[in-house]
Chain A
Amino acid sequence: MNQFLLFVRKEFYHVFRDPKTLLLLFGMPIAQIILFGFALTNEIKNSTIVIADYANDIASHQIIEKLAASNNFEIQNQNLSHVEIEGAFKKGDIKLAIVFPANFNNDLLHTNNAQVQIIADASDPNTANTLTNYASTIIKDYQRELTGNIMAPLQINTNVRMIYNPELKGVFNFVPGVMALVLLLVCVLMTSVSIVREKESGTMEVLLVSPFNPILVIISKAVPYFFLSIINLTVILVLSTTLMGMPINGSIGLLYFESSLLILCALSLGLLISNSTDSQQAAMLISLMGMLLPVMMFTGFMFPLENMPTGLQLFANIVPSKWYYIAVKSIMIKGLGLSEIWRETLILAGMTAVLLTISNRKFKIRLS
């Protein structure tokens, strides 16, 4: 036990004396959170739009006022003609145009069938979709206000409620993703590099010749990184709840439990990588290239998995962060408990067990 503590202390010396490791360990999560939280958001704010108002009556004015009041839009010009709209799109500085035909108010009140045209620049389809949604929501809102006064016969009102994330905040999506990304990458990288470093420097041989149990060598390497990752996780959680208003609706204990599982899984993956190479550079490359892309692609926080071809969807199942991501979202946002996410938990635990078994076996082979 004494020897074990000695080893763990030595491992902490390594970490704290290497500024690069420290930077990677604590700089990366902070940078990621800020990057994903603030810069990469899928909410669209202050898009410039133009309006061609042929009606110029009370209804069209009221809608335009509403559009102007929303912080999604900024009206550049509201007295354009049809032809001028095309020119504005071509110049590329507007994203959306709204056209009110003549007699808009009249049609609305007397025929119950008024038309508004929304034209979007679909060269960026996602933006176009989002913006048209924003605009039609505002127009429907106006309609609902009117029908409050005049009861129209036979009308279906769709009442949309965005549950769990009523403001459609992108942060809710990104924070669990960043947690998965950071924990997985940092842990895999740290363990694989630190074990390979010992091989490269020749100290691994000395350790294996000593009476110190080789399994303990591995465990005592994992302990400091486990500990540091938990601190890392805490930093991410504090940052995202205070700076970005990310809620933690479920149990914090359960959140840490699931994270511990992912960390263990990552540590055993790092161990596996360290067994298959003898150079630090190779270990670093395998960890970064081998992890970064699959984790970004298949966790589900950047690209929706549902839209992928079946083959890729199946592949996503072996990416541990996918399951972690689902579990963390359920805990933080929906406030669910273990009884709802037992499946994800079990899969993560299973992956860890398999990885540990393989790498443990491979490590023993290297001793012979």
Chain B
Amino acid sequence: METDIVIKTEKLTKRFGDFIATNQITFDVQAGEIFGFLGANGAGKTTAMKMLCGLSTPTSGNATIAGFDIYRETEQIKKNIGYMSQKFSLYEDLTVLENINFFGGIYGLSKKRLSEKSESLIETLNMKELRKKLVGSLPLGWKQKLAFSVSILHEPKIVFLDEPTGGVDPVTRRQFWDLLYAAADRGITIFVTTHYMDEAEYCNRITMMVDGEIKALDTPKKLMQQYSSDSMDEVFYELARGAKRKAD
């Protein structure tokens, strides 16, 4: 594995008034890694991710994304990342092809490259018959796979996925992860938040957030050894037991 660090945070903190959503989080993510960001609802995962994407300004601390500073170089960061939000993030009243063209277009992909890209994307996803269909008419699993593929259309260095598999059945979830592995093999770093513990085991490394702080950071295997448990579920319960914040 390469040792290029693509995400580096140092004591990154976000306060909303008295409430500290994320408290001094520090971690590194290496290029091509699938980095899982775990935690209960309200633990601060989404806030942390929003800061890294430039959607939210940190209260204190430092971070660089793909080598760019998150305070001063947000424009360069935007060109190097992809993002898939917690809510489904394609236009339901546009067709598959129109969505691909629109999102590819706003990332400045040329017509030629866009048509090559969309051909291979539709090929990979096996969506040839569906390309003129409105996205709203597709099953949720298809939409998620399409949304992910669209978010890496411009070959970003890093892609941020905010609970991408919410509400999807296990089989489709597995297929979705196959797509993630394929992208990681191409060198795209994947930063993914989830609260499905089986998914945590698919990650190269995971962090566990509790009450806005990082309580653990290692490979799933080592974490299971450390807490001498058989599954990530148990690790999670062990760590989250001390949580003061109630999940909402």
Contact = CB atoms under 8 A, between A and B. Distances in A.
Interface of A: 2-3, 6-7, 10, 13-14, 17-18, 200-203, 205-212, 367-368
16 contacts: A6-B102, A10-B98, A13-B93, A17-B93, A17-B134, A18-B93, A200-B87, A201-B92, A202-B85, A202-B88, A203-B90, A206-B89, A206-B103, A207-B106, A210-B78, A212-B106
A17 B94 CA distance: 9
Nearest to A212: B106
Nearest to B99: A10
B86 A208 contact: no
B7 to A, nearest CB: 15
A215 to B, nearest CB: 13
Interface in B78-109: 78-79, 81, 83-94, 98, 101-103, 105-108
Contacts of A14: 91, 93
B57 interface: yes
- Chain B interface category by residue count: 20 to 34
A209 B54 contact: yes
A7 B98 CA distance: 11
Contact of B91 (A203, A205, A211, A368): A203
B53 interface: yes
Contacts of B105: 2-3, 6
Interface string B30-58: 00000000000000000000000111110
B106 A6 contact: yes
Contacts of A211: 75, 78-79, 106-108
B107 A210 contact: yes
A205 B85 CA distance: 7
A173 to B, nearest CB: 40
Contacts of A368: 56-57
B87 A202 contact: yes
A206 B98 contact: no
Nearest to A210: B106
A128 B101 CA distance: 66
B81 A209 contact: yes
A203 B103 CA distance: 10
Contacts of A200: 87
Nearest to B160: A209
Contacts of A18: 93
Contacts of B88: 201-202
A209 B102 contact: no
A32 B107 CA distance: 43
A356 B31 CA distance: 43
A368 B71 CA distance: 11
A3 B106 CA distance: 5
B181 to A, nearest CB: 23
A223 B221 CA distance: 54
Contacts of B53: 209
Contact of B85 (A3, A6, A206, A212): A206
A196 to B, nearest CB: 13
Contacts of B134: 17
A14 B135 CA distance: 13
Nearest to B102: A10
A106 B102 CA distance: 89
A15 to B, nearest CB: 10
Contacts of B89: 201-203, 205-206
B9 to A, nearest CB: 18
A203 B88 CA distance: 8
B138 to A, nearest CB: 15
A332 B86 CA distance: 52
A200 B107 CA distance: 22
Contacts of B79: 211
B182 to A, nearest CB: 21
Contacts of A202: 85-89
Contacts of B55: 205, 208-209, 367
Contacts of A10: 91, 94, 98, 102
A80 to B, nearest CB: 68
A79 B160 CA distance: 91
Contact of A3 (B91, B92, B93, B108): B108
A209 B78 contact: yes
Contact of A7 (B81, B85, B106, B151): B106
3 shortest interchain CB distances as A-B pairs: A202-B87, A209-B83, A202-B85
A209 to B, nearest CB: 4
Between A17, A211, A212, the greatest number of chain B beta carbons within 10 A of the residue's beta carbon is seen for A211
Nearest to B75: A211
A202 B107 CA distance: 18
A16 to B, nearest CB: 10
